[in-house]
Amino acid sequence: MHIMSIPSALIWAVWLLPLGAFALISPLIRPFPGKAEPASFISIGAVGISFALSLWILASVLQAPDRQIILHGADWLSISGGPVFNFGLLIDPLSAVMLSVVTSVSLMVQVYSRAYMHSDPSYLRYFALISLFTAAMLGLIVSSNLLSTFAFWELVGLSSYLLIGFWFHRPSAVAAAKKAFLVTRIGDVGFLAALLVLYTKTGTLDITALNSPGVLSAISGGVLTWAALGLFLGAMGKSGQFPLHVWLPDAMEGPTPVSALIHAATMVAAGVFLVARMYPLFQAAPHALTVVAIVGAFSAVFAATMGLVMKDIKRVLAYSTISQLGLMMLGIATGGVWVGIFYLFNHAFFKSLLFLGAGSVNHATGTFDLREMGGLRKKIPWTFAFFVLAAVSLSGIWPLAGFFSKEGVLAAALDKQPVLFGFALLTTFLTAFYIFRVVFLVFFGDYRGSHGPHESSRIMLVPMGLLAVPAVASGWLNANGGFEHFLGDGATHGFWSGFIGALAHPLALFSLLAALLGVFSAYTLYIKRWISPDKVKWFLRSPYAIFTRKYGMDELYENIIARNALYRGVFQAADWTDRVVIGGASAGIASLTTGAGRVLRRFQTGQIQLYAVAAVLGMTAIVLIALVRG
């Protein structure tokens, strides 16, 4: 079957359409803040068309020679004899897959939001921001130049900031938004420094050029490693990898559909995408790739342990996201682009479904607290069905999607980093345990809340049902090796031999065993209560305390580093010098020189001699340094 190749104008339209929707809706925010339903259709229509175009792009890439479509855009910044930054689009299997993930999840989330945000007084602002985010995220995926990638990278960060703080009358939401923005910007220091290093060494930031062997071999190994680590620091910030993970759980203060779209499926995956995008560069810097694998594997276990004990359903899912992103990093570092991106692809669907399910549960019960739920499977059967499917998929149980991608990561890790394979296997067990803990606490047992639970409206259930399809089946795309063939260069084989044959692999038995053990442990504890969870809690009280306190990381950052070291230390010291040393000394001088003192006291300009003295001393120091050096 031959499909007409997509015209280039329509490729541009993929990200410009949501941007247009943002431009159309945002002027309407003030005149019609709340009820202006038609505006949401602008936003949904734009992303709907983008989704259709993404599928067309995917089909076109399959047929394109070299599987690449490169569009040269305008010269964004060009200086004669200096840098030229072309703002163009790079469409290859990687960006085509990412486009379809982002547009499809965004479409489903926006439809769902029509009902979820129905009574919100800032309905329009919500859709404007979601459109802005979608446009920036799509721009990030398709840009052919790392400089414009960085610009979009910051724009998704900004829209994430605005959406986390969407309910800005809550101080906790404002604090979370600020934390997210600042912590990810720490990572961005690495990204920007890497850009400057790469540009200085190669004279280009064009992604295709940077990834070419000729350019890479021109850079010395040490510099390349630092550049790759800088890029990875940026990726760690965005993808919430240890130790920059602290913002992601707090980001759950945003509306739940936003968590589904931005903080589960798309933006947080941008870090994984960046590593995949620059994979040839990382390959040329094997030490950096090892760091990626270690950080990923560690984050996977580290976050999963905290997911075990959280009492808020969204926080469990947030730690799960960090953990899963860690597995993606491990997958890319050990198995190559397709392993990590295949995981990203499947994860986007089942994790956003889990979040939308959590939103639906919240709609029914009015809370996110697991202690006030229970027995909901009868009350909200559709939500229950979708949530369980996604949970099984997340646990990596055959034949659902999660199984196939997890196999890829486990096999690659076993092959390259056997120790880290142990981490991944442990994560599999923990994942199944914490997600089924949630399932059992929410949907089984007796209802412990006071709200009268009711099933959500069809507008919310239909997108969930549509997401359930890929949550179950997206993994089958690689049963015949098709996905691997598309992104990497593996050979394809028969569908059924892959689908069933995957089970015959001894590794599959291990991972299934780990997952089922996790489910069974949760079953023992929360359904049968053969062992009381409280007893386990008491028995394991010290790890339990560590997990619930999040390893003290928040404490470390907020109290020790931010409040004590920086605020009380550096800023207060600077302030103290300003007031006490300079103020005190100048008062002394003023009282010595009575004549001047009287004038100066009237104007309260006691500091002025000190300003002059400081400047003269500084000048003397500079002159001395200069002369000693020269």
Partner 1 sequence: MNLDLLRPEICMALTALAAVGADLLFKRKAIVTAVCLAGIAAATGLTFSIMGNAPQIIANRLFSLDDYAIFFKFLFLGLAFIVIVASVDYVNRMKDFHGEFHALLITATLGAMLTASATDIISILLSVELTAISFYALVGFLKNGKTAESSIKYVLLGAINSAVLLYGFSMLFGFTGSTVLSGMERATAAIPSGGAAGGAGLLFGLMLVIAGFGFKIAAVPFHMWAPDVYEGAPTPVTLYLSTASKIAGFAVLTRILVTPFMQPVALARNWGIILAGIAALTMTTGNLLAIPQVNIKRLLSYSSIAQSGYMLVAVAALGMSSSNFLQARSSLLYFILAFAFAELAVFTAIVVMSRNKPADLISDYAGLARRSPLLGVAMTLGLLSLMGLPPLAGFMGKFYVFTQAAQHGLLWLVIIAVVNSVVSAYYYLRIIKTIWTDEPASEEPVSSSLGPRFALAFACLGIAVLGVAPAIITRFSEFGSHMFMP
Cα distances (Å, whole numbers) of residue 397 to 129, 266, 293, 373, 406:
36, 23, 24, 26, 9
* Tally of helices (H runs) and strands (E runs) in the chain: 31, 4
List the structure tokens of 6.
């997509």
When binding is defined by CB under 8 A, the residue of 218, 513, 565, 617 that contacts partner 1 is: 617
Q: Is residue 193 at the binding interface for partner 1, with CB under 8 A as the rule?
A: yes
Question: Are 435 and 395 contacting, i.e. CB atoms less than 8 angstroms apart?
Answer: yes
Task: Give the interface segment with partner 1, choosing from 69-77, 290-298, 444-452, 489-497 (CB under 8 A).
Answer: 69-77
- Judged by beta carbon, residue 495 or residue 611, the one nearer partner 1 is 611
Task: Please state the three-class secondary structure of 409-455 as a single string.
Answer: HHHHHHHHCHHHHHHHHHHHHHHHHHHHHHHHHHHCCCCCCCCCCCC
- Judged by beta carbon, residue 234 or residue 463, the one nearer partner 1 is 234
When binding is defined by CB under 8 A, the residue of 4, 504, 592, 626 that contacts partner 1 is: 626
Please give the distance of CA 67 from its chain centroid, rounded to a whole number: 27
Question: Are 304 and 249 contacting, i.e. CB atoms less than 8 angstroms apart?
Answer: no
Q: Least distance (Å) from partner 1 to the CB of residue 566?
A: 9
Kindly state the greatest CA–CA separation across the chain: 99
**Helix 123-142 × helix 37-63 angle, to 10°:** 10
Span 24-43, contacts to partner 1 by CB under 8 A: 30
Q: Is residue 444 at the binding interface for partner 1, with CB under 8 A as the rule?
A: no
Cα distances (Å, whole numbers) of residue 138 to 14, 70, 105, 106, 452:
7, 16, 12, 11, 40
Question: Are 441 and 373 contacting, i.e. CB atoms less than 8 angstroms apart?
Answer: yes
- Judged by beta carbon, residue 125 or residue 245, the one nearer partner 1 is 125
Q: Least distance (Å) from partner 1 to the CB of residue 302?
A: 24
Question: Are 487 and 93 contacting, i.e. CB atoms less than 8 angstroms apart?
Answer: yes
Q: Is residue 618 at the binding interface for partner 1, with CB under 8 A as the rule?
A: yes
- DSSP secondary structure of 51-93: HHHHHHHHHHHHHSGGG-EEE---EEEE-TTS-EEE--EEESH
When binding is defined by CB under 8 A, the residue of 102, 180, 192, 354 that contacts partner 1 is: 192
- Judged by beta carbon, residue 462 or residue 562, the one nearer partner 1 is 562
Q: Is residue 78 at the binding interface for partner 1, with CB under 8 A as the rule?
A: yes
- Residue 446 CB: number of other CB atoms within 10 A? 6
When binding is defined by CB under 8 A, the residue of 10, 52, 209, 608 that contacts partner 1 is: 608
Question: Are 339 and 332 contacting, i.e. CB atoms less than 8 angstroms apart?
Answer: yes
- Judged by beta carbon, residue 51 or residue 273, the one nearer partner 1 is 273
- Judged by beta carbon, residue 539 or residue 571, the one nearer partner 1 is 571
Question: Are 100 and 347 contacting, i.e. CB atoms less than 8 angstroms apart?
Answer: no
Binding mask 542-581 for partner 1 (x = CB under 8 A): ----------------------------xxx-xx--x---
- Judged by beta carbon, residue 33 or residue 488, the one nearer partner 1 is 33
Q: Least distance (Å) from partner 1 to the CB of residue 214?
A: 21
- Judged by beta carbon, residue 149 or residue 393, the one nearer partner 1 is 149
- Judged by beta carbon, residue 175 or residue 414, the one nearer partner 1 is 175
- DSSP secondary structure of 526-593: III-SS-HHHHHHHTHHHHHHHHTGGGHHIIIIIIIIIIIIIIIIIHHHHHIIIIIIIHHHHHHHHHS
Task: Give the interface segment with partner 1, choosing from 164-172, 315-323, 377-385, 420-428 (CB under 8 A).
Answer: 164-172
Query: How many residues lie near partner 1 (CB under 8 A)?
Result: 61
- Judged by beta carbon, residue 13 or residue 183, the one nearer partner 1 is 183
Q: What does the alpha-carbon distance between residue 386 and residue 349 come to, in Å, rounded to a whole number?
A: 12
Q: Least distance (Å) from partner 1 to the CB of residue 243?
A: 16
Q: Least distance (Å) from partner 1 to the CB of residue 570?
A: 6
Task: Give the interface segment with partner 1, choosing from 290-298, 432-440, 459-467, 604-612 (CB under 8 A).
Answer: 604-612
Q: Least distance (Å) from partner 1 to the CB of residue 308?
A: 33
Q: Is residue 623 at the binding interface for partner 1, with CB under 8 A as the rule?
A: yes
Q: Which helix (H) or strand (E) holds 458?
A: helix 458-473
- Judged by beta carbon, residue 82 or residue 213, the one nearer partner 1 is 82
Q: Is residue 615 at the binding interface for partner 1, with CB under 8 A as the rule?
A: yes
Q: What does the alpha-carbon distance between residue 548 and residue 537 come to, in Å, rounded to a whole number?
A: 11
Binding mask 120-159 for partner 1 (x = CB under 8 A): ---------------------------x--xx--xx--x-
Cα distances (Å, whole numbers) of residue 112 to 49, 107, 376, 416:
17, 9, 20, 42
| Residue 29 three-state SS | coil
List the structure tokens of 209.
């050029």
- Judged by beta carbon, residue 111 or residue 180, the one nearer partner 1 is 180
List the structure tokens of 16.
């410009």
Q: Which spans of this chain sit near partner 1 (rule: CB under 8 A)?
A: 30, 74-83, 147, 150-151, 154-155, 158, 165, 168-169, 174, 178, 181-182, 185-186, 188-189, 192-193, 196-197, 199-200, 570-572, 574-575, 578, 603-605, 607-608, 610-612, 614-619, 622-623, 625-627, 629-630
